Structure 1
Amino acid sequence: MTLTFPVSIIEDRSRTSAALSAAVRSLVEALERHGTPTEHLDTPSAIQGSSRLFIQSSTIVFVIPQRDLAPGAAADDRLDELTELVQSVRAKNPYVPIYLFGELLTARRLPDDLLAEIEGVINAYEDTPDFVARTIERQAREHLETLTPPFFRALMKYANDAAYSWHCPGHNGGTAFLKSPVGSIFHGFFGEPMLRADVCSSVEDLGQLLGHSGPVAESERRAARTFGADRLFFVTNGTSTSNKIIWNSIVAEGDVVLVDRNCHKSILHAIMITGAIPIYLNPTRNRAGIIGPIPRSEFSRESIQAKIDANPFITDKSVKPRLMCITQSTYDGIVYNAAEIREMLDGEVGALHFDEAWLPHAAFHEFYRDMHAIEQDSKRTMRSPVYASQSTHKLLAGLSQASQILLRDAEEPTFRESIFNEAFLMHTSTSPQYAIIASCDVSAEMMAGPGGEALVGDALLEAVEFRRAMGRIQAELTRQDQWWFGVWGPESGPHDGLPDRAEWSLTPGAAWHGFHNVDDGFTMLDPLKVTLTTPGLTVNGEFEEFGIPGPLLTAYLAEHGVVVEKTGLYSLFLLFTIGVTKGRWNSLIAELHRFKHAIDANIPLEDCMPRFAASRPQYAQEGIADLAAKLHAAYRERDYANLSTDIYLREPEMALLPGQAWNTMTTGKVENVPVDELAGRITSVLLTPYPPGIPLVVPGERIGAHVVNYLKQEEELERLFPGFGGHTHGLVDGPNGRTVPCIVED
């Protein structure tokens, strides 16, 4: 497969002479005769153009009218503007070849700043169009050949070589699918290149993910430089697997570990697998159900020692924790000052692990300075190595399950490569999906150089522009005594451009966040994590007279092609990635306006949500505003928002270690206990309410009466309003109602 990015020719035809325009057309015709795709952009001004064009061009040719080179202030301004444009292209794409095309172009008339950024100048009449076309084609080809990183380049070459394979997978480059009607549909949907690139580890030319050799290893080394790490390892089974690899390479049975109580369930699985003794660092929460930060005091030596002293499973009270793991950032976008945590805990714990599934972008923009695990130019820890696990498929451009592990060793090195590799082999498939490896490779390469900063900067700008637009609409509708949605976060101010870092820092007493235990300068909100709030509930847990529960808005948006990341009682979580565009978020605002109209007009669900109404006919005749009012009344009557927050504020009794509780599962020493009888029983599974999707009790912990009350309220709401009652993972539906697997106690 030949790469065919277009040659982009940018001409202001209102300024070019007839002769120069004819020369440009001759060049375009020559390029097309040679089979080179060309985009000839006729702009009102030669300094205007599409950002996409500048990024996705194999070569850019700016046509310079002779009048722009004439002496005088106006001509000087035009060249200054052209210089600024070329430099802005270089800020996003430092390698694309750029040529100037015109009449009588000489270095004597062109600014030095402009000459320093281009490949060359082309005089319209000195060489034939065919010669100039071949020159441009050669430069474009060389540019495209350097774009692809090592593994992706090797994979494309292998897939394009059309070699017969006698190895798995059994579809043999897609040919097996062509022997079946349904297989042919599958082949046509995914396309031959993807299927030809689906190979197995027998292809030595591609290197080995499990052995970190060949082009895979070269790409991992290249990505490590990009992310500022000593070592970087691609993982094709998601960050859940990355977390388990890190833990299995460091933690042994009986080791004490410090763990964010707000951690992902994969960390809890790692505790169960390793047999570690967890000490939890407890975050704050606001009354809108948003999980806040762990206070700074929880990381102090005194607080950690007090937890060790109080833990009955730790016999040696002088033990040093083997590992600390925190969620960075939280699901709701709270980011810690990682530099401060590294300094506080260096040498106090064996290793530092930052679960940065939601923060792989932070290394590429000054906005996140000190707020992520591994920074290339930061001070290296002395004794505790720093690990980060990142989901490049979440905010960067990896395919689903694309993940990576980053390591920055301490001044006193502790990394044991042989043990790490054994843990890697333990958790990684021997048949990795090569397209996922390639996406790890490419997503890292996209962030290299100034491109990474530009991509993250654009995402930040889109996120704050969305927030500002929502704020402007809210202010206008409030003046008209009408309702609108809110956006959780600080006032982003009337100014344009990128956000001011200071605005996003969580400060004590600030009304917007609703957290009661916040340390100045320790945490901030990532603007890319946008929590859209609906009317009905304040951050302090106060129910308002009028309300629209979040699950109803989520169901409406899904019906109309908008799928959100997660839903709270009165909130929706939107993720602004490097792929979000102005068109996308403006379309979302338009859909929110349509939802508002549906509520204000109380349109029946069968008209505004016909698919939902067909699947749940009990709501079909109901007006959408009437349903919202009934849901809101039910939530308010049960104080459901505060109930779903309070269940997290009491730390359960740990009766068994998580690993011990898991052993009872494997040996069958469990029984399913009805919800009504759960109080005081020891759970053998994770109980995880959605929302917020954070484990409430961990295997080995006793279930309190408050948890039972919550589960019963959840069950009652689901009975009254099917589809809107929430659900808790870990519950088992049976013929006599819901049960929870609990340990059989002697």
Structure 2
Amino acid sequence: MARADFATVQSAPFPLAPAGLASGQALGPGLAARPNADDDSGSGGEVPSSAWRVRADAWEFLGYAVKQLAAARSLTGAGRPPRELPRDVRRLLPLLESLEMYWASPGQQYVTEMRRILEAGEYLEALNLIEPVARRVAGHNHHAQEPAQDPERESERVEEPAESRKRFEVLVIDDVSSADREALQTELHSQRRPADSFNYELVFVPSFEDAIVAVLLNPDIQACVLRPGFVPNTKQRLGRDVRSFLDRFLGKSLPQRPLDRILSLAEKLGQLRPELDLYLVAGVGIEELAGSLTRQFRRIFRRQDGLELHLSLLAGIAERYEAPFFHAVQQYSRKPAGVFHALPVSRGGSVIHSKWINDLGEFYGLNLLLAETSATSGGLDSLLDPHGSLKQAQKLAARAFGAQKSLFVTNGTSTANKIVHQSILAPGDVVLVDRNCHKSHHYALMLAGAQVSYLDAYPLNDFSFYGAVPLESIKRMLLDYRRAGRLHEVKMLALTNCTFDGIVYDVERVMEECLAIKPDLVFLWDEAWFAFAGFHHIYRRRTAMASARSLEAKFADPAYARRHAEQLRALGGGAAGGYDGGGEPDDGGPGSGVGHVSDELLLKTRLLPDPAKARVRVYSTQSTHKTLTSLRQGSMIHIHDQDFGQLNEESFREAYMTHTSTSPNYQILASLDMGRRQVEFEGYELVQRQADLAVSIAQAVARHPLLKKYFRVLGTKDLIPPQYRETSRQMPLRDGLAAMSEAWERDEFVVDPSRLTLHIGLTGVDGDTFKHDFLMDKYGIQVNKTSRNSVLFMTNIGTSRSAVAYLVEVLVKLAETFGDEQSGLSGLGQRARLARVAALTSTPPPLPDFSRFAERFRVDAQTPDGNMRDAYFESYKAGSCEYFSAAELMRRVAAGEEMVSASFVTPYPPGFPVLVPGQVITEEILAFMSALDTREIHGFNPELGFRVLTGELASRQKPV
């Protein structure tokens, strides 16, 4: 550092300050820094609600600033400390004091002591306190010994190897004196034993509101201890976002009676983070309390039960930490064995002594080979008939994901979808399904022989992909089947919750209103890209399992039955013949939930089902490997089905046997077990982080003058038409958790903030070329989906801040490249470029809706369902098919000939079948196919053309 006097260093802005910190913007996680006599910076402006990044930046910047002060002191010589600290440091200290109130480590006392040392001018001593905290909070050195809450108490910590114990924090909610806090802390610390597998520190907050804020901000909290002395309201000055979120989440007033307040807080903590262990410490009458509080609390203690509380805290963490199948695989790999079965790779036998493939073992490691087996011995259990460690692992997964039952699948969600469809649907059953869903659903429905009735999602023609299926369309289809007298044939509704592009349904509302029309309808929610959602309080409410639990609770509430009866009377249904099926069902079949109320009135009303008749039968398929930690093809099926034991258990077992390999990959199963453990401990933190990082990318694109010249991140207003949303924010999370929470409570559809659809039309480069030639080949940026003029970026729980910075850097370089190319173009080149831009920014041929099934594959002309299985296997017959070029097909269709597809035709992108077996080919479909610029079209032979049902079979009419 060049020689400079202290005053110069003190007044200069710090060049490495994280964005916003030096200017006083974005200074905290929803907390305005408390005013201080030594702080002239005010509150630091409006602050975001996510603490993880701001806290890390604040500690890192403080370390940098103090290092500069220490360097200046060494240059100017030791002497009298300055009269006051630099403005930037004075701004950070009250911020960190406010934040660290909600963390045990380093904690508020630590910051107070650090402030004292800084104000005394002992900068090197302060730096020694700051740097280890900054490294840990930033995510480095996870196994380093944690700083104590008070630097003077470091010697009191139990000596242990640095990496031997996992650490967590326990939130104690009670308005007690510092002496009482110290006494409880001392009591629990005294219970520690060298054999303990975990270590914990205590965080104390005095109020109901502080408890909510602590659980929101501090993901290290894994257990909460409620003591009756806590007060309702915080004394902290909260930022607008956190204050607004609290007001929405808690309502206008908190319960005043202590017992009601305890129950309410337990309920709210469970809503935010259901994985937390809750304990109650009561002074008197715990015997009377125990019976009424067992659902809310893991255990209830008297104040004197310090040892039992300590042991319970550790036991609760140990239960979540258990990964039975992973541990069984570990143990198996350590046992000596003689292999006399059909897996030469087991124990590395065919690899490690090979002269030619020993590098396979070197690359993957010996543990992988030692753990390979085809025997169900050594505690490894059988996937097809689990009784031991695997059965227990699936039970733990059900607990984590909020399901009644969860099953592991080792060959992806494509197989999971086939299992669920086959278990529920029999030939002739009608299923309503989004035509835009993953191709595995279409193949599964063909195999099951179901009558398929396709629902059309709303199109986003400007970007060449679909949104989601409006609830009105689903209700209208159900009512059409009622009118045709076939509602009793409708068995299932299958939808994609969180589409590839991030559009999410209001799952509970969809199921609730559909059950008002068809009380026994079964739901399959494909959540392949949404497995992470169950571990964040805002996302969770739109998941299939959370919605199923909510509906079951509603239907058991007498108040809900009264609301249903009131709605029935308001609609004019009366005591009999109402929309809830009070009289004979219109279609004459069993299970109808609708009587004689007009269809248009039902479409306009937010319907409530009859809780005495509605059954909650919900299935969810999730690709754990796509959005959580698992080896490739690791997926799960989650079930919340009130009638599973009576109606589906046997058929589900047979379907599972049909599609599950007898030789499953045990490494995939073990990774599913560990992925479950991870999200129970850190899922909340990781999901919040992935969403925040995505928002930071969107903000960078919107603010950078060069990036916004060529790119735009599409938001809610681009992807969701106004009739499907009540709120109006373009990117709700950008405006805070309160704004996101409001949108996710009120809007019919919302956009997952961790999905970023980047519009690239102004570059003049189509999405497929942009993906391969620019992102992947040139810079190694991997993306999955593109459209004609967009590229989809997804953050996930493994995305780092460095990866985000690299992506922004790459986009800037690409924008510079486009700018340089544009400036060097001749007049002719400019016109060609403008033509490409015009083609990518204008509306292409509209996305084609599903046309119709040919008459011979339909039941009647009133309802749209068709039998794909008949059409698919018709093509097996000799002479039944012929190939036609696109031009020849267009000529024949224009001339009025009915041309029927013999196969699935699925272009990637957009990734949905444009044609399915038995579907009539239209001019609109052919125009759309001709406009596609994609390298991959499944089911289409570019040399031969489209495969079409022809000949004598094509003219045959549906038999009477």
Same fold by TM (over 0.5)? yes
Change in 2 beyond 3 A, CA 1:121/1:425: closer
CA contact (8 A) 1:174 1:192 kept: yes
1:432 to 664, 670, 675: 664
Change in 2 beyond 3 A, CA 1:460/1:415: farther
Match of 2:324 in 1: 150
CA contact (8 A) 1:373 1:388 kept: yes
2:918 to 696, 700, 712: 700
1:465 to 680, 696, 701: 696
Match of 2:791 in 1: 572
CA contact (8 A) 2:907 2:936 kept: yes
Displacement, 1:369? Answer: 4.3
Match of 1:335 in 2: 504
Change in 2 beyond 3 A, CA 1:564/1:356: same
Match of 1:552 in 2: 769
Read off the aligned partner of 1:642 and give its amino acid letter.
P
CA contact (8 A) 1:548 1:628 kept: no
Determine helix, strand or coil for the equivalent of 2:869: helix
Give the Cα separation in 2 of the matches to 1:455 and 1:53.
12
Within 5 Å, which residues of 2 pair with 1:575-614? 575-602=794-821
Asked if residue 274 in structure 1 is aligned to residue 448 in structure 2, the reply is yes
Read off the aligned partner of 2:941 and give its amino acid letter.
V
Match of 2:958 in 1: none
Match of 2:528 in 1: 357
Match of 1:535 in 2: 761
Match of 1:525 in 2: 751
Match of 1:389 in 2: 621
CA contact (8 A) 1:461 1:498 kept: no
Asked if residue 115 in structure 1 is aligned to residue 178 in structure 2, the reply is no
Match of 2:844 in 1: 642
Name the Cα RMSD after superposition.
4.0
Change in 2 beyond 3 A, CA 1:210/1:486: same
Give the Cα separation in 2 of the matches to 1:211 and 1:373.
26
Asked if residue 372 in structure 1 is aligned to residue 372 in structure 2, the reply is no
Give the Cα separation in 1 of the matches to 2:134 and 2:841.
56
1:177 to 348, 351, 355: 351
Change in 2 beyond 3 A, CA 1:673/1:201: farther
Read off the aligned partner of 1:260 and give its amino acid letter.
D
How does the TM-score come out when normalised to structure 1?
A: 0.73
Displacement, 1:229? Answer: 0.5
Per-residue CA distance 1:515-565 (angstroms, 9 max, x = gap): xxxxx72111111111111133xxxxxxxxx73322332121111111111
Change in 2 beyond 3 A, CA 1:317/1:442: same
Gaps of 5+ in 2: 1-62, 68-126, 158-163, 171-176, 201-313, 556-613, 717-729, 858-866, 954-960
Change in 2 beyond 3 A, CA 1:308/1:628: farther
Displacement, 1:500? Answer: 2.8
Give the Cα separation in 2 of the matches to 1:567 and 1:117.
59
Give the Cα separation in 2 of the matches to 1:627 and 1:145.
66
Give the Cα separation in 2 of the matches to 1:683 and 1:277.
17
Change in 2 beyond 3 A, CA 1:61/1:321: same
2:151 to 65, 71, 78: 65
Give the Cα separation in 2 of the matches to 1:68 and 1:177.
50
Asked if residue 295 in structure 1 is aligned to residue 470 in structure 2, the reply is yes
Match of 2:394 in 1: 220
Read off the aligned partner of 1:730 and give its amino acid letter.
G
Displacement, 1:637? Answer: 5.7
Match of 2:721 in 1: none
Change in 2 beyond 3 A, CA 1:116/1:685: farther
Asked if residue 676 in structure 1 is aligned to residue 747 in structure 2, the reply is no
Displacement, 1:344? Answer: 1.4
Displacement, 1:416? Answer: 2.8
Within 5 Å, which residues of 2 pair with 1:690-729? 690-714=908-932, 725-729=934-938
Determine helix, strand or coil for the equivalent of 1:323: strand
1:410 to 635, 639, 642: 642
Determine helix, strand or coil for the equivalent of 1:701: coil
CA contact (8 A) 1:59 1:139 kept: no
CA contact (8 A) 2:409 2:637 kept: yes
Read off the aligned partner of 1:276 and give its amino acid letter.
A
| Higher mean C-alpha displacement, 656-665 vs 231-240 | 656-665
Give the Cα separation in 2 of the matches to 1:168 and 1:55.
44
| Higher mean C-alpha displacement, 551-560 vs 268-277 | 551-560
Number of corresponding residues? 608
Give the Cα separation in 2 of the matches to 1:488 and 1:180.
54
Displacement, 1:655? Answer: 5.0
Change in 2 beyond 3 A, CA 1:196/1:686: same
CA contact (8 A) 1:359 1:390 kept: yes
Determine helix, strand or coil for the equivalent of 1:194: helix
Change in 2 beyond 3 A, CA 1:710/1:283: closer
Displacement, 1:459? Answer: 1.5
Match of 1:419 in 2: 651
Give the Cα separation in 2 of the matches to 1:293 and 1:730.
24
Give the Cα separation in 2 of the matches to 1:443 and 1:185.
29
CA contact (8 A) 1:484 1:534 kept: yes
Read off the aligned partner of 1:583 and give its amino acid letter.
S
Give the Cα separation in 2 of the matches to 1:414 and 1:351.
14
Per-residue CA distance 1:210-266 (angstroms, 9 max, x = gap): 112210000000110111100000000100000010011110001111111111111
More helix by share: 2
Match of 1:74 in 2: none
Displacement, 1:575? Answer: 1.5
Displacement, 1:625? Answer: 13
Read off the aligned partner of 2:671 and give its amino acid letter.
S
Match of 1:325 in 2: 494
CA contact (8 A) 1:732 1:738 kept: yes
Within 5 Å, which residues of 2 pair with 1:659-670? 659-668=869-878, 669-670=880-881
Give the Cα separation in 2 of the matches to 1:547 and 1:638.
7
Read off the aligned partner of 1:633 and give its amino acid letter.
A
Read off the aligned partner of 1:329 and give its amino acid letter.
C
Change in 2 beyond 3 A, CA 1:94/1:629: farther
* Percent of paired sites with the same residue: 27
CA contact (8 A) 2:527 2:623 kept: yes
Q: Determine which structure has more spread, i.e. the larger CA radius of gyration.
A: 2
Change in 2 beyond 3 A, CA 1:53/1:414: same
CA contact (8 A) 2:498 2:527 kept: yes
Displacement, 1:448? Answer: 1.4
Displacement, 1:55? Answer: 9.5
Gaps of 5+ in 1: 1-11, 15-40, 70-78, 83-92, 100-106, 123-131, 311-315, 507-519, 537-545, 605-621, 715-723
Determine helix, strand or coil for the equivalent of 2:638: strand
CA contact (8 A) 1:599 1:625 kept: no
Match of 2:782 in 1: 563
Read off the aligned partner of 2:694 and give its amino acid letter.
A
Match of 1:501 in 2: 740
Within 5 Å, which residues of 2 pair with 1:34-113? 44=130, 47-51=133-137, 56-57=142-143, 60=146, 62=148, 64-66=150-152, 96=167, 111-112=181-182
Give the Cα separation in 2 of the matches to 1:118 and 1:453.
27
2:939 to 730, 737, 746: 730
CA contact (8 A) 2:433 2:454 kept: yes
Read off the aligned partner of 1:689 and give its amino acid letter.
P
Give the Cα separation in 1 of the matches to 2:853 and 2:648.
36
CA contact (8 A) 2:852 2:920 kept: no
Read off the aligned partner of 1:562 and give its amino acid letter.
I
1:740 to 947, 951, 956: 947
Give the Cα separation in 2 of the matches to 1:577 and 1:639.
29
